[in-house]
Amino acid sequence: MAYGKMHPTLTVERRLWSKGYRYVAGVDEAGRGPWAGPVVAAAVILPANLPELEERLAGVHDSKRLNARQRNRFFQRIRDVAFAVGVGQATPEEIDRMGIVPATQLAMQRAVASLSTMPDYLLLDHLSLPDVPVPQEAFVRGDARVLSIAAASIVAKVVRDDLMIAYDTLYPGYGFARHKGYGTREHREALHHLGPTPIHRRSWGPVRQALQGFRP
């Protein structure tokens, strides 16, 4: 089946619930590619004993396939339905020091650690967490296939977008509320004219170039 036609289901979670795993957490991230801001991860444990769970979360999908209004609506629904939700992040400094993949794993570990209940199984999009001593599976395009991962992708995206909107007030002129730190023409021009902010990832090529060429 083509990924574009997929819809996240509870197939994987139900398989694990039937084996006795009660606290299955879906984990995903937002913000691996931007030039500025943190990478944010979320972990979502869906309740195993809610018969209408799939109906309550109908329409939940990979956050990239939803618009901002839909994501915000589902964010609240996920918070209402989920057994537990955890969020973690890695800072731009950590991204620069560690690299984006280890920093993303760190954000995911922090999201799992922030859950009110320790999960007994993890479902992840692409990455694994070798430093978390919990059974786990990683899926290609997990956010399009596994409902708890899709839910985590929405939570991570909404939390990160809200952070970037707040940064727009703190650092005006860059357009963070619009592009959320991604590499748009507006963002490139702001870097050229204003120079990098403390939330820019200095190891990213366009930011490094701006640091070299900027004269206040």
- In angstroms, rounded to a whole number, what is the distance separating the alpha carbons of residues 108 and 94? 13
Average pLDDT score over residue span 180-202: 95
In 17-60, where do the E strands start and end? 24-30, 39-45
Predicted local distance difference test score (pLDDT) of residue 67: 87
Predicted local distance difference test score (pLDDT) of residue 3: 47
Burial classification of residue 123, based on how many CB atoms lie within 10 Å of its CB (0-12 exposed, 13-18 middle, 19 or more buried): buried
Average pLDDT score over residue span 111-128: 96
Which superfamily, per CATH, for 3-160?
Ribonuclease H-like superfamily/Ribonuclease H (3.30.420.10)
Closest by alpha carbon to 142, among 70, 62, 44, 25?
62
Cα–Cα distances in angstroms (integers) from residue 157 to residues 118, 130, 161, 168, in the given order:
22, 24, 6, 16
Q: What is the torsional sign of CA 143, 36, 33, 68? A: positive
pLDDT for 133-167, tens place per residue?
Answer: 999 999 999 889 999 999 999 999 999 999 999 99
Average pLDDT score over residue span 85-107: 98
- In angstroms, rounded to a whole number, what is the distance separating the alpha carbons of residues 116 and 99? 29
Contact 33, 182 (CB under 8 A): yes
Closest by alpha carbon to 24, among 63, 82, 79?
82
The number of beta carbons lying within 10 Å of the beta carbon of residue 106 is: 21
Token digits for 165? 């909107």
How far is C-alpha 64 from the geometric centre of its chain's CA atoms? 11
Predicted local distance difference test score (pLDDT) of residue 211: 83
**pLDDT: is 64 or 70 the higher one?**
70
- The DSSP bridge pattern shows strands 121-125 and 136-139 to be parallel
pLDDT for 15-50, tens place per residue?
Answer: 999 999 999 999 999 999 999 999 999 999 999 988
